[in-house]
């Protein structure tokens, strides 16, 4: 009987320690028309930490990253314009070492506490909800709704250069594959 109690107690302790280390995220309601200016302090500290570096995010399906560069908003502080209250960055997304997409992004407070949201100026569907977790690492969700699924949390690390594509050497030119004669 003591053996069963020991096994049950050990199982409960293991489950409790696992539950204690699993991070849970919450959601807060914020004004959908909030601006960067209202939360400028935390936004500027994160954008300064991100800008100018290569950030590599790796999953089993993807090997690429992003580079954030500062964007000087000529309308900043002009309340009569759409982008007047916006802190902005340019994000260049990479697939391996090749640029895949460039987007002008607006920074604002995320509805996930502790995160900053970057959304596409031309397309609000393009989102990254970012928090710094050290000098060389940030974590991100690709939408505000993903806070319910901690397994969707992506980790990006600062690198000197992105990985080279292993598929590049397998591609043949049009002359080599017989497309042109």
Q: What is the per-residue pLDDT for 173?
A: 61
- Reply yes or no on whether the pLDDT at 145 is more than 80: yes
pLDDT digits over 17-71, tens only? 344 346 788 888 888 878 888 888 889 999 999 999 999 987 666 688 999 999 9
Task: Say how many Å lie between the first and final Cα of the chain, rounded.
Answer: 82
> Which CATH code, of 2.60.120.10, 2.40.128.640, 3.30.70.890, 2.60.40.10, is assigned to 27-164?
2.40.128.640
pLDDT digits over 77-97, tens only? 666 666 777 889 999 999 988
Q: What is the per-residue pLDDT for 46?
A: 93
Closest CA to 57 of 148, 144, 162, 132: 162
Pair of tokens at residue 78: 């002009």
Q: What is the pTM of this model?
A: 0.75
């Amino acid at each position: 009987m003591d053996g069963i109690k020991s096994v049950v107690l050990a199982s409960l302790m293991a489950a409790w320690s696992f539950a204690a280390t699993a991070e849970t995220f919450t959601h807060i309601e914020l004004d959908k028309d909030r601006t960067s200016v209202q939360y400028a302090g935390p936004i500027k500290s994160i954008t300064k930490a991100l800008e100018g570096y290569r950030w590599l995010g790796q999953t089993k399906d993807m090997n690429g990253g992003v580079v954030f560069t500062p964007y000087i908003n000529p309308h900043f502080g002009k309340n009569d314009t759409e982008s007047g209250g916006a802190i902005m960055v340019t994000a260049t997304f990479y697939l391996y070492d090749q640029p895949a997409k460039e987007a002008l992004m607006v920074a604002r407070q995320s509805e996930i506490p502790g995160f900053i949201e970057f959304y596409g100026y031309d397309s609000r569907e393009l989102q990254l909800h970012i928090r710094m977790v050290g000098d060389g690492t940030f974590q991100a969700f690709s939408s505000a709704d993903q806070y319910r699924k901690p397994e969707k949390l992506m980790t990006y690390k600062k690198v000197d250069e992105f990985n080279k594509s292993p598929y590049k050497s397998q591609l043949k030119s049009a002359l080599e594959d017989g497309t042109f004669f």
